[in-house]
Amino acid sequence: MADTQKADNPRSDSGDWSVGVRLWVESGGQPLLGPGRLELLEAIDRGHSISAAARAVGMSYRRAWLLIDGMNKAAGSELVSTRTGGKRGGGARLTERGHFAVTVFRGLLDHVRRVAESTLHWLTEPEAGTIHVACATSLEGVLRQLIVDFASLEPGVCVRAITGASDELSAHLLAGAPADLFLTADARQLDRLREAGILAPESEATVAHNSLAAIGPKQGPPVRAASDLGGPRIHRIAVADPGCPLGAYTRAYLEPLGLWETVRQRAVVLDNPAVVTAAVRAGMADVGLVYLSDAAASDCRVLFRAHPADIRYAAALTRRGAEKPAAKALLGFLTSRTARQRFQRCGFLVKAD
């Protein structure tokens, strides 16, 4: 009988649900990266030896060598370089491209797992008294800290954050996913939800602002202004896809300066801010254009700060959230002086009342 009830109502008795994700990368139908290959590459990076890496991950030297050879061929260029001499073929190191592949795939794995786990909460029965916040990925770090701050003021309220791309989150809400509060830097998604009647009228509030910044590797060519992006020593510039908010803001900043085409010709176009930062950190780009808040949190050099049109982060209650006093209290907290100070410490901008 219990099994029948679960089938009839998939949102009931689901507190023990978990999500499993298998993720791999192929190139031309050939396997390139997966969790096991990632573990092997990370072990090579630590020990600079194929034999030591093979022992660390529990596989034979021959198996490790075949995997490395396959990855190098599938990638079209070496992820691992080897040198002859020494026991069992000498040493091995990750190439620049190998470091980039490891950084991006590790970040992709972590991101997909977080998104999968948070999205699972929308399939389970919402706990009584829990406030669900649908939050753009660029706000994930600061929101987690803000939730802790809010808990010290409202210890009886449980807040659960569900993070992802703003357009994906709004699509979930339009499909009926339960959320009480929506946070985004993409005004288009606010319009989309407002027009569909998802948001509570007159509940929208600005919580923070942001800007853009150019970042570079610790050792790299001097770049002090946007005009330097066209210099002869700048070969690759990491930018976000113009289809995402960061990419749209980047293009809107560069076009009036007459630099968009110059940057586009040198661009390494990537999916999101985290991968842009990873490309710079791994040496795959001479410059990256990211949010100022992400630049402050990275271990890269901040080359210069850009001044595009205002990047505004807004929070709005859903109609569901407007019926909950705790959700209203959380929205009020996000515009408080305490929250503004937290945003500032995390690299965001705030404006005086």
**What per-residue confidence (pLDDT) applies to 120?**
65
pLDDT per position as a tens digit, 81-99: 987 655 554 589 998 888 8
Question: Mean of the pLDDT values across residues 267-271?
Answer: 87
pLDDT at residue 352, as a whole number: 63
113-208+312-345 and 209-309 have identical folds? yes
Asked if pLDDT for residue 309 goes beyond 90, the answer is no
Supply the pLDDT for residue 9: 40
- pLDDT confidence of residue 124: 61
Domain spans, the chain: 26-106, 113-208+312-345, 209-309
Of the two residues 278 and 316, the one the predictor is more confident about is 316
Structure confidence at residue 8 as a pLDDT band (50, 70, 90): very low
In the predicted model, is pLDDT for residue 11 greater than 60?
Answer: no
Q: Which CATH class is domain 26-106?
A: mainly alpha
Residues 212, 277 contacting (CB under 8 angstroms): no
Radius of gyration of the chain (CA): 23
Interval 211-224 mean pLDDT: 89
Residue range 196-215: mean pLDDT, rounded = 95
The overall average pLDDT reported for the chain is: 85
Token pair of 273 as six digits: 């801010």
Please give the CATH topology (third level) of the domain spanning 209-309: D-Maltodextrin-Binding Protein; domain 2 (3.40.190)
Which of 100-104, 176-180, 314-318 has the weakest average pLDDT? 100-104
| 199-215 mean pLDDT | 95
CATH architecture of the domain 113-208+312-345 equals 3-Layer(aba) Sandwich (3.40)
Closest CA to 152 of 348, 338, 281, 346: 338
Measured between alpha carbons, how far is 142 from 212 in angstroms, rounded to an integer?
Answer: 17
Residue 263 has pLDDT above 50, yes or no: yes
Q: Model confidence over 39-67: pLDDT tens digits?
A: 999 999 999 999 999 999 999 999 999 99
pLDDT at 100: 82
Q: What is the mean pLDDT of residues 232-246?
A: 90
Compute the average pLDDT of residues 33-38: 91
Indicate whether this model's pTM tops 0.85: no
